[in-house]
Amino acid sequence: MNIEQKIRQAALEAVEKLYGVADEASVQISKTRKEFAGDYTLVVFPLLKASRKSPDATANEIGEYLAANHPDVEGFNVIKGFLNISLRASFWAARFEEIAADPEFGRGASTGRTVMVEYSSPNTNKPLHLGHIRNNLLGWSVAEILRECGDTVLKGNLVNDRGIHICKSMLAWQMFGGGETPESTGMKGDHLVGKYYVEFDKRYKAEQRELMAQGVTEEEAKKSAPMILAAQEMLRKWEARDPEVYALWERMNGWVYDGFERTYRRLGVDFDRMYYESQTYLLGKSLVEEGLARGVFYRRDDGSVWCDLTADGLDEKLLLRADGTSVYMTQDLGTAYRRFEDERLDALIYVVGNEQNYHFQVLKLLLAKLGYGEWADAIYHLSYGMVELPEGKMKSREGTVVDADDLVEGMVETAREMSAELGKLDGLSTEEAAEIAETVGLGALKYFILKVDPRKTMLFDPRESIDFNGNTGPFIQYTHARIRSVLRKGAEISRNADGGLGGAGDGNCEIVYVPQELELIKMLCDYPAVVRQAGESHSPSLVAAYAYDLAKLYNSYYHDHSILKESAEAVRDFRLRLSAEVAGVIRRAMRLLGIIVPERM
């Protein structure tokens, strides 16, 4: 039972004893707002029917009962029908001992749910960019938070390894590549393939301009330009398993997979299940054929297959092109079917940008119309906002994206420069300095992206993210390193005194706690609830905010109160134990964001 439940149970008992009723729904407990004195607040208004008294009289009566009958309640105050309850220091001391004794503190019991979180989902025609970084970091963190909440979690990645966009890169390399490879150029494979995606777009636009100069309309020029016709023909050949096209596809995709793996490894991102569009689109096509046979879908005169969703407030959705080739929706139907059938999922979370909101509305509708309504209800689209730069939106066709590898390398270099300027690398070996720069650079990147509510569009500022003060990853990392330094020195003092770290007593408040110590204990107690809330809302930003607030509070405590120089041994030992627990919870919280907190910094 958590603290809020304990207080609720006590309040429920008070209401039953005082007014002869025990309506659980009417007993509402929440944390007391910061501007008022107290720990937990009971809302009195739902109880007035039972008490038949004024709000203040009811609140005072319940408060007096709790103070008289529950030893953990130190006092109370009443403000306009709200009963604010204060708990004794001994109560919080006992909670601290529970935290210190629990090596799994913050981890929820098994829920029995199996959840898949799909993220990354790259196209094999270009390298990962800044937008992919937000996607990967968000998906990985949500998966880890849900796992911490007690779910069985599978991290899934659907690689979009087929389609017209892949053929564009393949065609451009075939026409203009001169046989160059990652080995011959020294380029990462995904970068090399992306180079030819950009090249295709340049040549295609040049052909459009030439046709328009001859009097062809822009729309017609887009459809009839030789480059796009050749790419479409290559896609048809691929679906027909043309040996030459298929071999080229396998070769270039192999280059890209190697490049992706190197990027994932550096970001600390992993997957439990890999899916490939090339392996699921045929299953999707069979589901479309099944829907066609049942009259759920219909075929137009040109041979294309559609679903009419106008009665559902949407429009008509293409499922198969006239030439029989599939679209994204086709393979998404197949992939969803395969996942639910194979894994017996209770929930499937798609981490995909908000520009695809319509797509997932349609996917759920189509699954329901095909008879898989339970699966449709289990799908959740974590619709996140785009990452923007001061210069505006990124465009991959024009080669104006921020490359993920370049960004990570830039972050690490900036971290190295700023750490050196502040003297944080003094006395470290070259290898140690490089490790700190990597840890700080990636920590800054991950925290800056994950501290923003996923649903909001965010503006990315690399240098701001590496500030060692303020709401940043490096600030929290530095706080953890500071605590670890204090603990090492504390252990040395204890060894010299031929003793060990003592305890905080038996929880009976033998030590007089300063207010910040009680606040730190209360904040530690909040951690499991923060993780649960982050899991329920699929929002790592709640964990990030908590980690920052905890680090900030500890820094204030460290500034105001002596730890190592405290003359009273019991007080010093308690403060070291408290520091150790704060460091542990910071470490747990930051791990859920994929961020390493260093021992030294």
Q: What is the pLDDT of residues 434-477, one digit of tens each?
A: 999 999 999 999 999 999 999 999 988 877 888 888 899 999 99
The percentage of residues in the chain with a pLDDT greater than 90, rounded to a whole number, is 83
* Per-residue confidence (pLDDT) for residue 461, from 0 to 100: 80
Burial class (CB in 10 A: 0-12, 13-18, 19+), 406: middle
The three-state secondary structure class of 442 is helix
pLDDT of residue 394: 42
Count, in order, helices (H) and strands (E) of the chain.
Answer: 22, 14
- Is there a single domain that holds both residue 467 and residue 551? yes
DSSP H helical ranges for 268-403: 277-293, 328-343, 357-369, 373-378
Are residues 208 and 298 located together in one domain of the fold? yes
What is the average per-residue pLDDT within 549-572? 94
Summarize the confidence of residues 56-67 as an average pLDDT.
96
In whole angstroms, what is the distance from residue 438 CA to residue 418 CA? 12
Task: Look at residue 600 and tell me if it is in a domain.
Answer: no
Mean pLDDT value of segment 222-245? 95
Q: Which of 590, 137, 126 is nearest to 351 (CA)?
A: 137
Q: What is the pLDDT of residue 512?
A: 84
Q: Is there a domain that residue 175 lies in?
A: yes
Give the closest residue to 478 by CA, choosing from 599, 315, 313, 338: 599
Q: Are residues 34 and 164 in the same domain?
A: no
Amino acid 325: pLDDT: 84
**Which of 16, 22, 24, 14 has its CA nearest to residue 61?**
14
Question: Which CATH number covers residue 30?
Answer: 3.30.1360.70
Q: Are residues 318 and 464 in the same domain?
A: no
What per-residue confidence (pLDDT) applies to 400?
A: 53
First to last CA, the chain: 38
Q: Which residues have C-beta within 8 Å of that of residue 500, sequence separation ≥ 6?
A: 494
CATH number (domain holding residue 166): 3.40.50.620
Smallest CA-to-CA distance from 583 within 556, 542, 554 is with 554
Is there a domain that residue 102 lies in? no
pLDDT band, residue 497 (cuts 50/70/90)? low
| Domain boundary pick from 45, 65, 87 | 87
So what's the pLDDT on residue 498?
A: 52
- Residue 549 pLDDT > 80, yes or no? yes
Cβ distance 194 to 173 under 8 Å? Answer: no
Segment 500-522 mean pLDDT:
70
What does the pLDDT read at residue 398?
46
Both 376 and 508 in one domain: the answer is: no
Which residue in the block uniquely carries the two structure tokens 């046989």? 179
3-state secondary structure of 306: strand
* Average pLDDT value for the chain: 92
Please report whether residue 396 resides in a domain: no
Q: Which helix (H) or strand (E) holds 114?
A: strand 114-118
**Same domain as 63, residue 154:** no
What gap in Å lies between CA 403 and CA 244, rounded to an integer? 31
Q: What is the pLDDT of residues 189-223, one digit of tens each?
A: 999 999 999 999 999 999 999 999 999 999 999 99
- 152 & 259 share domain: yes
Q: Is the pLDDT at 294 greater than 50, yes or no? A: yes
Yes or no: say if 66 and 10 are a contact pair by the CB < 8 Å rule. yes
Same domain, 356 and 445: no
Looking at 346, 371, 388, the residue that finishes a domain is: 388
Output the domain CATH number for residue 514.
1.10.730.10
| Within-domain flag for 436 | no
Does 40 share its domain with 175? no
User: Are 214 and 348 members of one domain?
Assistant: yes
**Does position 505 have pLDDT exceeding 50, yes or no?**
no
Average the pLDDT over each of 60-74, 96-110, 165-179, 390-404 and give the range with the smallest value. 390-404
Last residue of a domain, which of 359, 388, 417? 388
Measured distance CA(359)–CA(361) in Å, rounded: 6
pLDDT (0 to 100) of residue 506? 43
416 domain-assigned? no
SS3 of residue 424 by DSSP: coil
Query: Residues for the chain: how many in total?
Result: 601
Query: Residue 269 and residue 594: Cα distance in Å, rounded?
Result: 8
Residues in CB range of 393: below 8 A, 6 or more apart? 386
Predicted local confidence at residue 21, as pLDDT: 82
Considering Cα of 418, then 419, then 420, then 424, what sign does the dihedral take? positive
pLDDT digits (tens, 9 = 90+) for 257-291: 999 999 999 999 999 999 999 999 999 999 999 99
User: Would 301 be classed as within a structural domain?
Assistant: yes
Q: In which domain, by residue range, is 12 found?
A: 3-87
C-alpha distances out from residue 599 to 300, 483, 543, Å: 65, 9, 21
Question: CB pairs under 8 A, 24+ apart, for 559-562?
Answer: 560/514, 560/516, 561/514, 561/516
pLDDT over 80 (residue 480): yes
- Stated as kind and residue range, the H or E segment containing 471 is none
Give the pLDDT of residue 551. Answer: 98
Question: Could you report the per-residue pLDDT of 377-436, keeping only the tens digit for each?
Answer: 999 999 999 887 766 544 444 445 688 999 999 999 999 998 898 888 888 899 999 999
Closest CA to 513 of 4, 106, 95: 95
Q: Could you give the number of structural domains in the chain? A: 3
* Same domain assignment for residues 262 and 323: yes
Spell out a b/e string for 330-350, using b for 16 or more CB atoms within 10 Å of the CB, else e.
bbbbbbbbbbbeebebebbbb
Largest CA distance in the chain: 93
One domain, residues 191 and 337 = yes
- C-alpha angle with apex 250: 342 to 281, nearest 5 degrees? 35
Structure tokens at 415: 């971290």
Strand partners, 118: 156, 350
What tens digit of pLDDT does each residue of 159-173 get? 999 889 999 999 999
Range among 86-95, 420-429, 485-494, 566-575 rated most confident:
86-95
pLDDT at 510 over 70: no
Is residue 169 classed as helix, strand or coil in its secondary structure?
helix
Query: Does residue 95 fall inside a structural domain?
Result: no
Residues 551-568 have a mean pLDDT of 94
Question: Is it the case that residue 1 has pLDDT exceeding 60?
Answer: no
H or E element at residue 22: none
Write the CB contacts of 600 (distance below 8 Å, at least 6 apart in sequence). 432, 436, 481, 484, 485
State yes or no: pLDDT of 502 exceeds 60: no
CB of 348 within 8 A of CB of 372? no
